[in-house]
Structure 1
Amino acid sequence: MTATPLNYAKTYFVTSAPDIHHLPEDSGVEIAFAGRSNAGKSSALNTLTNQKSLARTSKTPGRTQLINLFEVEPNCRLVDLPGYGYAQVPEEVKRKWQKSLAEYLQKRESLKGIVILMDIRHPLKDLDQQMIDWAVQSQLSVMLLLTKADKLASGAQKKQLNMVKEAILPFQGDITVATFSSLKRTGLEQLKQKLNEWYHQQELEL
């Protein structure tokens, strides 16, 4: 059965929260976007929703220090998680972010899928692998987006894609991998299709 497409252009900001205790009611379906602070997460969310400034982009990675919630349709939300792994953030702040991330991934019942974004030129860093492991342990479906694909020629893109597909086999989770470019909008339809699938799947189970 084909998943009914959602209109991502209608997505709007709901709230920012420092941790799960400040989030709205834990109901409906949430799909989270996570990634290192320079992975192009905000740009991907803006491209997905066809809005220039839905998610704040910054020349200084690590600015997103809160869990940001966006509503696509009633009971269907996108979640922008704090970027991780930025070296110039104080250790205390890093620990706080990590705690918020872990708590959200492990305790938020409405979380049904996670999109993990990685720069195609530097994929699967330690923290990326830790995030994939967390997601798999929490029995979440995962989509890995290899961002900034326009920085590589098509042959090099394919090589990186195949390398990542092979490297994640030991995780043994429900993991999809795709290349993505906010600039060229490549991989956008594949991303939308996966999100539609996740939202639709949960509707059927409700």
Structure 2
Amino acid sequence: MNPFYQRARFVTAVAEMDRMPPDQGREVAFAGRSNAGKSSAINTICHRRQLARTSKTPGRTQQVVFFALDETRRLVDLPGYGYAKVSEAVKLQWQRLMASYLERRRSLAGLVVVMDIRHPLTAFDRQMLEWGRRAELELLLLLTKSDKLKRSAAHAELDRVAKAVAADGRHIRVELFSAQTRSGTEPVHSVLDRWLGVGD
């Protein structure tokens, strides 16, 4: 268990760029389709059961939510995309907010894209990856709910996704993850430590 991430505490939830915390220090954002298990992944990574709100209704996260780890480092929960039963106008508003955040936020050190291992690389996932690439962000793909597949099938899917996202010649790290078994937590911590400068 990594005690640093247990320090995570809610700071604010906003729907506009100018209401975000000061653009200083370092932060890592989490993005994912609304039913991919993003909030559960954040809770598992932080060893906290109710830090990021989970819901049986996809699309619960409708704002950009900031969690402080210390005075200079943060985790950020972006609005779930793709599946939420909301109006097209609201979806467009979310998209504009996320695109602006990813392209303009100077303290953003990396982007974690959370995907259900049974339904990876949807059009929405690819859009997030493209935004991340355009913003020249470090990228990590988490294939969540890996416990739903047999070990061999999960690793085969891991290889398939890794090859698919490497097609443009850029290496993107892909990891298996399960909130149920907590597998994959340590590799995620090692990536976040590097991006956030933990231990520097």
Specify the TM-score bucket, using the shorter chain as the normaliser. Answer: over 0.9
- Find the counterpart in structure 1 of residue 109 from structure 2: 112
Residue-by-residue CA offset, 1:72-95 (whole Å, 9 max, x unaligned): 122110000000001522111100
SS at match of 1:7: helix
Distance 1:178 1:153 in 2: 15
Shift of 1:174: 4.6
Of 159-168 and 172-181, deviating more is 172-181
Asked if 1 retains the 8 angstrom alpha-carbon contact of 2:25 and 2:72, the reply is yes
- Find the counterpart in structure 2 of residue 194 from structure 1: 191
Distance 2:168 2:120 in 1: 15
Distance 1:172 1:67 in 2: 31
Distance 2:170 2:14 in 1: 29
TM-score normalised according to structure 2 size: 0.96
- Find the counterpart in structure 1 of residue 10 from structure 2: 13
Shift of 1:6: 6.5
The structure 2 residue matched to 1:88, chosen from 75, 85, 101, is: 85
Of all paired residues, the percent bearing the same amino acid is 47
The structure 2 residue matched to 1:162, chosen from 147, 159, 162, is: 159
Asked if 2 retains the 8 angstrom alpha-carbon contact of 1:179 and 1:186, the reply is yes
Alignment of 1:43-82 (within 5 A): 43-82=40-79
Aligned residues: 199
SS at match of 2:189: helix
Distance 1:111 1:155 in 2: 35
**CA-atom RMSD in angstroms:** 1.4
Distance 2:117 2:124 in 1: 15
Residue-by-residue CA offset, 1:106-150 (whole Å, 9 max, x unaligned): 111111100000000110001101111110111100000000000
5+ residue gaps, structure 1: none
Distance 1:15 1:174 in 2: 33
Which one-letter code corresponds to 1:126 in the other structure? A
Distance 1:173 1:109 in 2: 22
- Find the counterpart in structure 2 of residue 129 from structure 1: 126
